[in-house]
Chain A
Amino acid sequence: AQTVTQSQPEMSVQEAETVTLSCTYDTSESDYYLFWYKQPPSRQMILVIRQEAYKQQNATENRFSVNFQKAAKSFSLKISDSQLGDAAMYFCAYRSDGAFGNEKLTFGTGTRLTIIP
């Protein structure tokens, strides 16, 4: 079974600075997908960024980028120019290369990110 570990229960960063959230995972599969989801106080789960394991290039979405190290099974999220609206719980998630209902997400325990004005 796959496991996802987020070793930082809480992080804080000054507004406009850069912060990196860590995630490691354990799997014996070669093809899979990794995600970062954001959960603000509204409770809604919002997809931040995704990475396909077969792609060597790190994914980027505006101020959000990842550092994907497949051999090390590491998938960190970098948030640049942090904004107050980035304050939320961030969850790292693993998805097997399945389909038709077999593609469940395995989540880490989350990192609570606080933005300091």
Chain B
Amino acid sequence: DTAVSQTPKYLVTQMGNDKSIKCEQNLGHDTMYWYKQDSKKFLKIMFSYNNKELIINETVPNRFSPKSPDKAHLNLHINSLELGDSAVYFCASSPGTVNTEAFFGQGTRLTVV
């Protein structure tokens, strides 16, 4: 029973296209995140949401738009995809309180050609 699940696991698309990655967590957590892992394996936060409200937005191009329809879901929509967007995108969740860790999904490998 997967705790944090992302779809799709792999996504190959052409430059200029628009694509979405979906994330769902069944842990009852209040906080969800998107992290990006680049080709050198460096992980950096993009966004965080708490109870559907955007909390962190870390210098991400506005082509990236997260949406949280409810606290169990956080989707990432990317417009006008560029070659540099190729990366692994991780969704994560946490209870949103102090002294708690984040639980990660299995990642979505996005390849822009």
Contacts and interface: CB of A to CB of B under 8 A. Distances in A.
A33 B99 contact: yes
B43 interface: yes
A103 B49 CA distance: 11
Interface residues of A, number: 27
A33 B107 CA distance: 24
Contacts of A33: 99, 101
B90 to A, nearest CB: 6
Contact of A43 (B96, B98, B101, B107): B107
Contacts of B58: 104
Given A43-B106, A102-B48, A103-B31, A52 B42 contact: no
A102 B99 contact: no
User: Chain B binding site: helix, strand, loop or mixed by DSSP?
Assistant: strand
A63 to B, nearest CB: 19
A50 B101 CA distance: 8
B86 interface: no
B25 to A, nearest CB: 14
Interface string A76-98: 00000000000001010001011
Contacts of A89: 41
A71 interface: no
Contact of B98 (A35, A98, A104): A98
Contacts of B50: 100-101
Nearest to B43: A107
Given A102-B48, A104-B45, 8 more contacts: A43-B88, A47-B101, A100-B50, A100-B55, A101-B48, A104-B58, A107-B44, A109-B40
